Amino acid sequence: MSGFKLNSLTPETTKRFVNNKINQAAEKNTFASSPRIVVLGVGNELLSDEGVGIHVVKELQKMEVPPHVEVIEGGTDGFGLLNIITDTDRLIVIDSVKGGSPPGTLYKFDIEDAPNASDLFKTSVHQISILEVIHLSELIGKTPQTTVLGVEPGSIETEMSLTPDVQQKIPRIIELIFEMIEESAPETPNA
């Protein structure tokens, strides 16, 4: 599993992209029967890039999202997120991921791939990782379709702001989130 490098976008470009995607979905009337989607940002924003998930969610909360999408700041709640995870159809997690690549490298993997990636990735630096909580939801019998968007941290030192390498990836992460939301919309038959 390798990270992919993406060009950064301006906030204006990202906003146009997001609004365009929402309008396209509204025109198709895909929201009415859409699955419940949770975008979950996790991490500790007191530890610089470890808080990237929280920073992304805060930006998303300033934007218009489809009505079937909930944007949640999960912080480092660990087991406290179990009810949120088991009560959704589609889960998109944003977190820092230590994969050994340069800071700011983006990773995207489905939860089914996470056990195979355990040697490659030490996902997050939380006491209880979000992957452990998601795997625990399997025991309860309700694990949503889950994708993790990870960002290689440059620093996890005590600092409230992100490093420039990670900060510049936020527009692209948001773009990827909206692409996944659109992909999750049910197909509408042609009339």
Of 59 and 99, the structure prediction assigns the larger pLDDT to 59
Whether 103 is covered by a domain: the verdict is yes
56, 136, 160, 166, 177 from 172: Cα distances, Å: 10, 30, 21, 11, 9
Residue type, 36: R
Residues 58-96 have pLDDT tens digits of 999 999 999 999 999 988 877 788 888 888 999 999 999
Is residue 27 domain-resident?
Answer: no
Q: Is residue 73 part of a domain?
A: yes
pLDDT of residue 20: 62
Number of domains, the chain: 1
d(CA 178, CA 154): 25
Note down the domain range covering 78: 35-184
Q: Return the higher-pLDDT residue of 136 and 70.
A: 70
> Residue 2 above 50 pLDDT?
no
Q: For residue 131, give the CATH number of its domain.
A: 3.40.50.1450
pLDDT confidence band for 162 (50 / 70 / 90): very high
Instruction: Convert the pLDDT of each residue in 18-47 to its tens digit.
Output: 556 555 555 554 445 578 999 999 999 999
Here the tokens at position 184 are 């999750």
Would 50 be classed as within a structural domain?
yes
Q: Tell me the average pLDDT across 10-15.
A: 60
The pLDDT score that the predictor gives to residue 141 is: 72
Q: Which amino acid does the sequence have at 9?
A: L
